[in-house]
């Protein structure tokens, strides 16, 4: 079964070493998204990037950095994403958050006999 619709994509850019009460900030964001009942969250670790400090962080062996960029992506209905934003205000001290409208195509369950 396939469905389509407009939803919001919430993208949160933070550093790998950013913390919330002694645990990784990205872990706290995913946990809160789960508790809030959002559709899902994915964390991606960047290979290279820079932010406000203008310092380039990279995983190349000659200049190995341990504070790589982390990106958390959440896609859900607009009202659910907007209701979640105040939680980010509480825990994100430094980073960038983007919210954009996306067309979502969901695939769920296969028809019997289909492979």
Provide DSSP, 48-91: EE--TT---EE--GGG--S--EEEEEEEE-HHHHHHHHHHHHHH
Q: Coil, strand or helix: which one is 13?
A: strand
Confidence of residue 21 (pLDDT cuts 50, 70, 90): very high
- Strand 41-45 with 57-58, pairing: unpaired
Let me know how long the chain is: 115
In angstroms, rounded to a whole number, what is the distance separating the alpha carbons of residues 5 and 12?
A: 22
Model pTM score: 0.82
Q: Look at residue 70 in the predicted model and tell me its pLDDT.
A: 93
- The mean pLDDT value for 20-38 works out to 97
- 39 has pLDDT over 70: yes
Phi/psi of residue 90, nearest 5 degrees: -75, -35
Tokens matching residue 12: 């949160």
In this prediction, residue 68 carries a pLDDT of 83
Q: Which domains does the chain have, with CATH numbers?
A: 14-95 (3.30.70.120)
| 31 pLDDT above the threshold of 60 | yes
Average pLDDT of the chain is 87
Q: In this predicted model, what pLDDT tens digit does every residue of 51-103 receive, in sequence order?
A: 666 666 666 555 555 678 899 999 999 999 999 999 999 999 999 999 999 99
């Amino acid at each position: 079964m396939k469905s389509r619709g407009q939803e919001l994509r919430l993208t949160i850019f933070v550093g790998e070493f950013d913390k919330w009460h002694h645990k990784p900030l990205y872990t706290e964001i995913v946990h809160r998204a789960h508790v809030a009942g959002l559709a899902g969250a994915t964390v991606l670790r960047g290979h290279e990037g820079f932010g406000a400090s203008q310092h380039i962080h990279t995983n190349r062996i000659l200049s190995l950095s341990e504070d790589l960029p982390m990106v958390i992506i959440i896609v859900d209905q607009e009202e659910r994403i907007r209701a979640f934003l105040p939680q980010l205000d509480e825990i994100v001290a430094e980073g960038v958050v983007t919210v954009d409208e996306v067309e979502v195509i969901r695939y769920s369950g296969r028809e019997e006999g289909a492979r």
